[in-house]
Amino acid sequence: MTIERPTDARPLRLLVVEDEDAHVELLRRGYESASRPVELEVVPSLAEARAALDRSTPDAIVADFVLPDGRSLDLLPFAAARGCPVVLMTSQGDEGVAVEALRGGAFDYVVKTPRALASMPHTVDRALRENALLVAHRCAVEQSRRSEERLRATLISLGEVVFGVDDAGLLRDLHVPHELRAIFDGASVGSPLDALVPPPIAETLRASLDRAGSDIVEHAFELSGHSFRARICPRLDGGWTVALRDETARRAAERGRERLETELRHVQRLETLGTLAGGVAHDFNNLLVPVMVGLDVARSELPIDSRARSILDDARLAAERARELVQRLLSFSRTAEGHERRRVSLAKVVRDAIPVLKVSLAGRQLVLELDDALDVTVDVGQIQQVVLNLVMNAHQALGDAPHPVRLAVRSTDDVGVDGEWVELAVHDRGRGIAPEVLERIFEPFFTTKGPTQGTGLGLTVVHGIVQAHGGFVRARSDAEEGTELAVRLPRAS
């Protein structure tokens, strides 16, 4: 079925794996209310879902956790192989099941309530954005790997020791980078290999030269606390060319990249993991469902002008406000949890987040002004989430304008309170924010964006994280200079 709206946008192709018609109908109405064009293909079982995936790949999948022929966790590998994000639904909240679903590769996990099903368009859109970010990240990693292989094949790198060895075992064409001269300082062109590296390593390299023949051979060794990899290539004019790559920094970078990927996953699933932390709020939310359903049934059986119906209307309104309060509590609970904090340079936290920022900025220039000497005691993942939220707000505020986003880490002492402070400021040259809007930007659920562009919780989460770290956020904006959001954190003593 297709829900139409007057637009040229391609309808979203959504596979719904659900055996309850009532839930499918609520989902369909949610897309009608959101005016989001969608093609729903509804199947009631895992077997039919796999058959549907074999026929074509949808944009996304929404699946009930428990189905007549098994659990939808079994569907996750099939969806992942096709690059299709999955949102799982369940009738009862269970933290253990939620963790299992997320570890299995689901992008989100929601409890089936009328409100959750009505907001499914936003949930699916968020899953699609997260999936696109992951795909872009994997492509960037793959391109980086291919580029490194091309560079290694040419044996040209400013960070490598490159030299030739003739058939007599003497050095020629010797190049030692400045940063490695303290390690390789006893050799020159015409010297034997033993003058460049200690005899045991030289003997191993000679054995590798003999083994190379017409092939490329690699050999790893340790020297003076550094990890080197030797790449030996036969030369057309006789002898060999050897490149010694210092992989110490690369291995450290790989460890840093692993940390970044862990923090990226934390950012992507922050809202989902927040639902696990708000167990009490979830239980209360589940209790509200039968209350609201009962009120609706009772109201429908009373005359419109009945006093009893008026009382039930007030009760229904109170229940709706209670549910909104639960959602606000959940949003704040995500920033109130205890996290491991450590002393670190705020500039380093920003630099470690740059790969994610560049993917999110889609080519827009990011101008950095970072003071590396300013330490703070923070949870790195949470502060990187703050950076990502602020930079993405600035990026969206610029729209199609070609201006860069400016990000600075600097010291400041004009806060009117005791102690030293470090400021993280993000500035854009957009149209600015009206004063009446600027006063409300940190309110939960307040947003000037369209219904599919945000939940209004981004700056609320930023505010909660910064407050939990003992800091605060200041905002200034005008039509001429644009907008600057400045996070101020206590400087580590």
- Which two structure tokens, joined as six digits, stand for 311? 């009382």
Residue 468 has pLDDT above 50, yes or no: yes
Question: Per the domain annotation, does 254 fall within a domain?
Answer: no
pLDDT of residue 210: 77
Residues 148 and 174 in one domain: no
pLDDT category at 328 given cuts 50, 70, 90 is: low
Say if 350 falls within a structural domain: yes
381-405 burial, b at 16+ Cβ within 10 Å, e below that, comes to bbbbbbbbbbbbbbbebbeeeebbb
Q: What are the strands, taking DSSP E only, across 176-327?
A: 217-223, 226-234, 240-246
Last residue of a domain, one of 335, 353, 384: 335
Residue 121 within any structural domain of the chain: yes
Query: CA 265, CA 104: separation in Å to the nearest integer?
Result: 13
Strand order in the sheet with 108-111: 2-3, 38-43, 12-17, 60-64, 86-90, 108-111
The reported pLDDT for the residue numbered 252 is: 74
Please write the tens of the pLDDT for every residue from 284-325: 777 777 888 888 888 888 888 888 888 988 888 888 877 776
CATH number of residue 242's parent domain: 3.30.450.20
Q: What is the pLDDT of residue 397?
A: 82
Give the per-residue pLDDT at 281: 62
- Phi and psi (nearest 5°) for 282? -65, -45
Domain range for 318: 278-335
Q: Which range, of 43-57, 194-208, 221-235, 252-266, averages the lowest pLDDT?
A: 252-266
**Cα separation, 182 vs 81, whole angstroms:** 49
Average pLDDT over residues 114-143: 87
Are 230 and 369 members of one domain?
no
- Residue 422 falls inside a structural domain: yes
Is there a domain that residue 347 lies in? yes
CB-CB contact of 474 with 459 (8 Å): no
User: Domain check: are 167 and 298 in the same one?
Assistant: no
Mean pLDDT of 341-356: 90
Q: How many domains are there within the chain?
A: 4
SS3 276: helix
Instruction: State pLDDT tens for residues 144-183.
Output: 778 756 644 554 455 788 888 888 888 988 888 888 888 8
pLDDT at residue 59 is higher than 50: yes
Is 80's pLDDT higher than 80? yes
**What pLDDT does 262 receive?**
55
Question: What pLDDT, on the 0 to 100 scale, is given for residue 268?
Answer: 47
Whole-angstrom distance, CA of residue 40 vs CA of residue 121: 12
Interval 410-441: pLDDT, tens: 988 654 556 789 999 999 888 878 777 776 67
| Core vs surface per residue 108-140: b (16+ CB within 10 A) or e | bbbbbbbbbbbbbbbbbbbbbebbebbeebeee
Residue 241's pLDDT is what?
84
**pLDDT confidence band for 334 (50 / 70 / 90):** very low
Q: Which of 322, 378, 318, 314 shows the shortest CA–CA distance to 345?
A: 378
pLDDT at 456: 46
Contacts of 246 (CB under 8 A, 6+ apart): 159, 160, 161, 180, 226, 227, 228
Name the band, by pLDDT with cuts 50, 70 and 90, for residue 65: confident
